[in-house]
Homo-oligomer: A and B are copies of this chain.
Amino acid sequence: MSDQAFVTLATNDNYAKGAMVLGQSLRNHNTTRKLVALVGPHVAEPSRDALCSIFDEVLVVDVMDSGDVVHLALMKRPDLGVTITKLHCWTLTHYSKCVFMDADTLVLSNIDELFEREELSAAPDPGWPDCFNSGVFVFRPSKEMHDKLLKFCGEHGSFDGGDQGVLNSFFNTWATADISKHLPFIYNLSSIAIYSYLPAFKQYGHDAKVVHFLGKVKPWNYSYDTQKGEVKGHSLSHDSSQMHPDYLLMWWQLYTKSVLPLLQHTYRDTPF
């Protein structure tokens, strides 16, 4: 399936670490699709090199170098820089269908079946469930759609200041039109949901396919004690650790085992 791809985005070296873990988790679960990382111009060379060894394509996206539509949108809404970079995924027209995944997601099993879905398919957001969460979505690259989205972005802005607001305003029939465009929540399980309705997590959580570390604090903001195999500063109480698998620990184990060696190689043993 060389015309279908998983796509992620990293505009800095921290999100690049997330992208590496995500890419590696897709590889570990034997995806048959291509892996594409869009990187901003501020991602350092060694990070790009490490990404190159996991992803099939690493494309540097400099929105400043983009065409007129992008410029116009950026001039009207300078605050939407990262969002406009994310929308760039629609320009990947050498693929017929793609699944975008935030760099703060982690794949727990093969999810290639997502390519059976149509644009725009996404899972509900646990905060306001008539909105979809834009951390995982199925789309069809198209120059026309990219132009439309940027135009919309420039004219209407984003109600939440990010891509989720823009995409929900643009694809505004998601909640009411077509159930097949509702991805099951287990394809974009955010840790917030675990605590807000724990009995449901206990009932359905064991089928989780994608975990999303949504919110301010990301896995790479913690540190890890390699000796003890413990995430530092993460106070998972005994009680709650019995109740659900520690996704944060899984992220760090993958990072330590598969990503750190790559980075140590590309940065020539500079410590992290």
Residues on A lying within 8 angstroms of B by beta carbon are 123-131, 159-161, 165, 168, 175-179, 182, 184-186, 192-193, 196-197, 199-204
Contact = CB atoms under 8 A, between A and B. Distances in A.
B130 A196 contact: no
A6 B128 CA distance: 26
Contacts of A176: 179, 182, 184
Contact of A185 (B129, B159, B185, B192): B129
A202 B19 CA distance: 32
29 contacts: A124-B124, A125-B129, A126-B126, A126-B129, A126-B196, A127-B197, A128-B196, A128-B204, A129-B185, A129-B193, A130-B184, A130-B185, A130-B204, A131-B200, A159-B199, A159-B200, A159-B203, A160-B197, A160-B199, A161-B199, A165-B203, A175-B182, A175-B184, A176-B179, A176-B182, A177-B179, A179-B179, A179-B182, A196-B196
A103 to B, nearest CB: 21
A197 B130 contact: no
A252 B110 CA distance: 52
Contacts of A124: 124, 129-130
A134 to B, nearest CB: 12
Nearest to A188: B129
Most central of A175, A200, A203 by chain B CB within 10 Å? A200
A196 B127 contact: yes
A201 B128 contact: yes
Nearest to A192: B196
A184 B161 CA distance: 23
A182 B127 CA distance: 16
A202 B179 CA distance: 25
Contacts of A125: 129, 197, 200
Nearest to A197: B127
Given A159-B200, A159-B202, A199-B165, A128 B175 contact: no
A76 B159 CA distance: 50
